[in-house]
Amino acid sequence: MQSSMFNLRVTLDERGEIFLMNTLTDAQLVVSSDVAALLDRSSDAMVGNDEDELEALALLHENGFLVESRDADRRALDQYLSEVKSDATELNVTILTTLQCNFACDYCFQGDHADYNQRADRMSLETASRVGDWIERELDRVRPEKLVLTFFGGEPLLNLPVMYAIAERLWKATRERGVAHYVNIITNGLLLTPDVVDRMSPLGLNGVKITLDGDRNTHDRMRPLRGGQGTFDRIIDNIRKVAGRCRIAVGGNFDESSVDSFPALLDFLHEQDFADKLSKVFFKPIVRTEPVSAKGIIPLTPIAAKDSFNGTCMTSVGSGAGRACDSCNVLDDKLSMVREHTKRLGFPTHDGVHNGPCHVHKQHAHTIGPDGSLYACPGFTGQLALSTGHIDDRKDSWRETALERFNRLHPWKECGDCAFIPVCAGGCVAASYSQLGDMNLPTCHKPSFESALVSLAHEIARNEATPQVA
């Protein structure tokens, strides 16, 4: 027996105890330092001579902290990733109803082009109907327990008829098939009204994610209208009007010029009458497109070149359907600071450890562009050459080649014995592709995982929600 390569530990100074986590089994234990020492000695033939030790060893084995060999760990990892890939319990579809947007965000491709909306793709009702056909075929082929639809863009609320048509069609389709149905909307919040929420609620609306990029001044600088006017007050007003009617998550992006305004944003949100209605609050480092921007922006790790997104809203790409690139090397400390402040105010938030594997690694997660092209994840939309199929089921050899490439992804194979592989799988593949030119090279944000682990350990120890092993 030996210690698993997926074991992580954090010393809980205040208690003289150790938090143990195994990322493959997701087991989490708070143990005495004696038990942690026993784990370290587990390959020693003399270990386990008394009853207490044998009991502790059995518990560690049962929870995956002790394994037969490193080969056993590797086999279990392969099996786990293959199960993630083929998991048919959920069919997950992100639909880009339009690439048009009413904002001119500082960090977004669209913000650079005044005429962008005139040529940006927009899904027609006819294509929406074919999207419905394709998803119904997938429901019958995959037979999932649930369908999760996410409407995204551009700004999805600029194409309400298509969103309503698809949501209505699939609500009916899932009722007929006895499949659970969840609908999410990722929006800039400007056009979010009680009418939109009331129309979508009976169609399975699960939640709306709205982006705020700092306190009022900062947000208005980062996310103005195309005419330059601020948007913060109107978004807050809209959140207030719909709060309580559906789950509202607030997300946002920060860079070094804006991050220090996030505590003020969090304090502001905490004071609002809708604060207790926010289902999640989570902020992440901004996705930049050049290593060093002409705008004097710090060299954040880019997740994609501008062209590669070609109109897909940068708000959620990179965190998107998955959450693996919710972090960035340069801003790890700042991410920690924002996360801790969010927790201190009592907002529900991501723990920053359970991040992946993201949708790009899942066979039954798809993104559909406005023209009906299929993609492995939102990070590749707009790159037609990397489309993995089409809702018409047309057979284009280049799409089949792209699908094959995504099916064979393995960036984690370059990650050695990293204990975070089961929750990271090598980082954001869209970032690997754009930054490194190779989808199978990892983009590593290990410091962010490490700081999130420390935070998670202390939170769990505080709540004493985990089993205690003496």
Q: 7 vs 174, which CB is nearer to ligand SF4? A: 7
Choices 89-97, 98-106, 355-363, 396-404 (CB under 6 A): range interacting with ligand SF4: 355-363
Q: 181 vs 362, which CB is nearer to ligand SF4? A: 362
**In angstroms, what is the minimal distance from the CB of 359 to ligand SF4?**
5
Q: 149 vs 266, which CB is nearer to ligand SF4? A: 149
| Burial class, 155, CB count within 10 angstroms (exposed 0-12 / middle 13-18 / buried 19+) | buried
Contact string (CB under 6 A) for ligand SF4, positions 49-78, x = contact: ------------------------------
Q: List, in sequence order, every residue forming a beta bridge with 107; answer none if it has no partner.
A: none
Torsion of CA 179, 180, 181, 184, to 10 degrees: -150
Q: 92 vs 174, which CB is nearer to ligand SF4? A: 92
**In angstroms, what is the minimal distance from the CB of 269 to ligand SF4?**
25
**In angstroms, what is the minimal distance from the CB of 127 to ligand SF4?**
23
Q: 424 vs 456, which CB is nearer to ligand SF4? A: 424
Q: How many residues bind ligand SF4 (CB under 6 A)?
A: 28
**In angstroms, what is the minimal distance from the CB of 420 to ligand SF4?**
4
**In angstroms, what is the minimal distance from the CB of 361 to ligand SF4?**
8
- Backbone torsions φ then ψ of 125, nearest 5 degrees: -65, -30
| C-alpha to C-alpha distance for 399 and 373, rounded to whole angstroms | 9
| C-alpha to C-alpha distance for 451 and 13, rounded to whole angstroms | 15
**In angstroms, what is the minimal distance from the CB of 312 to ligand SF4?**
9
Q: 278 vs 365, which CB is nearer to ligand SF4? A: 365
Which of the residues 197 through 226 are near ligand SF4 (CB under 6 A)?
Answer: none
**In angstroms, what is the minimal distance from the CB of 423 to ligand SF4?**
8
Which of the residues 408 through 467 are near ligand SF4 (CB under 6 A)?
Answer: 412, 415, 418, 420-421, 424, 426-430, 442, 444, 446, 449
Q: 358 vs 386, which CB is nearer to ligand SF4? A: 358
Amino acid at 346: G
Residues 202-220 as b/e (b if ≥16 CB within 10 A, e otherwise) read ebbbbbbbbbbbbbbebbb
Torsion of CA 411, 413, 415, 417, to 10 degrees: 150
| Burial class, 464, CB count within 10 angstroms (exposed 0-12 / middle 13-18 / buried 19+) | exposed
Q: 132 vs 322, which CB is nearer to ligand SF4? A: 322
By CB under 6 A, is residue 146 in contact with ligand SF4? no
Residue nearest to ligand SF4 (CB): 379
By CB under 6 A, is residue 377 in contact with ligand SF4? yes
| Burial class, 397, CB count within 10 angstroms (exposed 0-12 / middle 13-18 / buried 19+) | exposed
By CB under 6 A, is residue 379 in contact with ligand SF4? yes
**In angstroms, what is the minimal distance from the CB of 8 to ligand SF4?**
11
**In angstroms, what is the minimal distance from the CB of 230 to ligand SF4?**
29
**In angstroms, what is the minimal distance from the CB of 441 to ligand SF4?**
9
Tokens of 126: 């006819």
Q: 109 vs 412, which CB is nearer to ligand SF4? A: 412
The residue to which tokens 């205040």 are assigned: 14
Choices 11-19, 143-151, 274-282, 353-361 (CB under 6 A): range interacting with ligand SF4: 353-361
Choices 135-143, 168-176, 356-364, 454-462 (CB under 6 A): range interacting with ligand SF4: 356-364
Q: 19 vs 420, which CB is nearer to ligand SF4? A: 420
Which of the residues 284 through 343 are near ligand SF4 (CB under 6 A)?
Answer: 317-318, 320-322, 324-325
Residues at the interface with ligand SF4 (CB under 6 A) = 317-318, 320-322, 324-325, 358-360, 377-379, 412, 415, 418, 420-421, 424, 426-430, 442, 444, 446, 449
